[in-house]
Amino acid sequence: MANPFCALHLHIMYRIFRFFLFCFSAETVHHIIAFALKVARYVPFFGPIQRALFTFRSPLLEREVMGLKFKNPIGLAAGLDKNGELVNEFSNFGFSFIEIGSVTPNPQPGNPKPRCFRLIPDQAIVNRFGINNKGAKTVVQNLKQRRRRPIVGGNISKNTLTPNEKAADDYEKAFLRLYDYVDYFVINVSCPNVENLCQLHDVDLLSGIIDRLTEIRRCHDEYRPILLKVSPDLSYEQLNNLIELILISGLDGVVATNTTTSREGLRTSPERLQAIGKGGLSGAPLKQKSLDIIKYIHNKTEGNLPIIGVGGVMTPQDAIDMLNAGASLVQVYTGFIYKGPGFVRQILKKIVKEKV
């Protein structure tokens, strides 16, 4: 008898499920799924069944990056588990690491709704959430409750109302709060949905933030790698300046890239794009931009700077392209929404098959 849970069946089941989910707004679906996953915690054997269906282990997948041991190179990108509430549940979908956040020192509601839109013909999403999150204190409470221990990255940012000149105070507060509860940090200055945040790519402003965080790290016994998440919309000159700053300031790596403000080459009609308005674009149309930036950073640093590649991974081959371009690890967000819970396992199987 055919296995009812083979990859093809799971894929078809998800396509049907997705058809119904996509009848609701993207943000509503997010809340439904998050609620369902929280309820499922109380269903006996749900976690082990989820792991049996979606995880895939092989010694060929193991990676050591920045001193951390990853069971496989695929992680969940920031933005899906903003408050660190579902770290175990997402790791049961096969991810070896979960990046929570972005987390700001104080809670904030983000931008008015609607603020998240699917561009189905482009396999993409536009969002302008504006870093809505429950604040660092609540996130720590959530992280204290997790039972299993996948690697957790703390993606931190400043509160929207904090002016850029005082941004370092915010990054410091979030960093200090999360220090004992995450395994690495990401400085997010690249979210296009918070006014003027991207100005923090400026080397002078950014070095103020980095100096503070590395100074605090020196006072701790446990070392936490710190990475910088960059925008795909930077010029190569800006990128050169950032690479230089990263190398001299003791940062441990780069996350490349965040969402783009570009709308170039989309199939979605100009009328619909205009109706949606501003926001960061993720998914398939971002892939080439992210890939180019990963290749550029890898070549420029002669492979000496760890890169977490993210942006437009919609097929297992996309993930392999990122690894081949020089990424040590790869993250997924939009691909997971479109391809479903079996996506990570598909990627991992292909990595093993192709011995990447």
Ligand X SMILES: Cc1cc2nc3c(=O)[nH]c(=O)nc-3n(C[C@H](O)[C@H](O)[C@H](O)COP(=O)(O)O)c2cc1C
Among all residues, whose Cβ is closest to ligand X?
79
Radius of gyration of the CA atoms of the chain, in A: 19
- Cβ proximity to ligand X: between 59 and 265 the closer is 265
Task: Give the per-residue SS3 of the chain.
Answer: CCCCCCHHHHHHHHHHHHHHHCCCCHHHHHHHHHHHHHHHCCCCCHHHHHHHHHCCCCHHHCEEECCEEECCCEEECCCCCCCCCCHHHHHCCCCCEEEEEEECCCCECCCCCCCEEEEHHHCEEEECCCCCECCHHHHHHHHHCCCCCCEEEEEECCCCCCCHHHHHHHHHHHHHHHHHHCCEEEEECCCCCCCCHHHHHCHHHHHHHHHHHHHHHHCCCCCCCEEEEECCCCCHHHHHHHHHHHHHHCCCEEEECCCECCCCCCCCCHHHHHHHCCCEEEEHHHHHHHHHHHHHHHHHCCCCCCEEEECCCCCHHHHHHHHHHCCCEEEECHHHHHHCCCHHHHHHHHHHHCCC
Sign of CA dihedral 131, 157, 284, 225: negative
Candidate ranges 48-56, 127-135, 201-209, 293-301; the one touching ligand X (CB under 6 A): 127-135
Residues 254-273 that bind ligand X (CB under 6 A): 258-259
Choosing from 198, 313, 323, 344, the residue that interacts with ligand X (CB under 6 A) is: 313
- Cis amide prior to 257 (ω within 30 degrees): yes
**Under rule CB under 6 A, residue 253 binds ligand X:** no
**Under rule CB under 6 A, residue 79 binds ligand X:** yes
Candidate ranges 38-46, 56-64, 122-130, 203-211; the one touching ligand X (CB under 6 A): 122-130
Beta-carbon neighbour count of residue 32 at 10 Å?
12
Binding-residue pattern over the window 221 to 240 for ligand X, x denoting contact by CB under 6 A: --------x-----------
- Cβ proximity to ligand X: between 192 and 326 the closer is 192
- Cβ proximity to ligand X: between 70 and 338 the closer is 338
Candidate ranges 53-61, 126-134, 173-181, 203-211; the one touching ligand X (CB under 6 A): 126-134
**Under rule CB under 6 A, residue 131 binds ligand X:** yes
Q: Minimum CB separation from ligand X for residue 96, in Å? A: 16
**Under rule CB under 6 A, residue 135 binds ligand X:** no
**Under rule CB under 6 A, residue 174 binds ligand X:** no
Choosing from 68, 77, 254, 297, the residue that interacts with ligand X (CB under 6 A) is: 77
Q: Minimum CB separation from ligand X for residue 127, in Å? A: 4
**Under rule CB under 6 A, residue 332 binds ligand X:** yes
- Cβ proximity to ligand X: between 9 and 167 the closer is 167
CB 218 within 8 A of CB 272: no
Q: Minimum CB separation from ligand X for residue 257, in Å? A: 6
Candidate ranges 77-85, 170-178, 220-228, 264-272; the one touching ligand X (CB under 6 A): 77-85
Q: Minimum CB separation from ligand X for residue 126, in Å? A: 8
**Under rule CB under 6 A, residue 155 binds ligand X:** yes
Binding-residue pattern over the window 97 to 116 for ligand X, x denoting contact by CB under 6 A: ----xx-------------x
CB 353 within 8 A of CB 98: no
Site residues, ligand X (CB under 6 A): 77-79, 82, 101-102, 116, 125, 127, 129, 131, 155, 188, 191, 229, 258-259, 282-283, 286, 310-313, 332-335
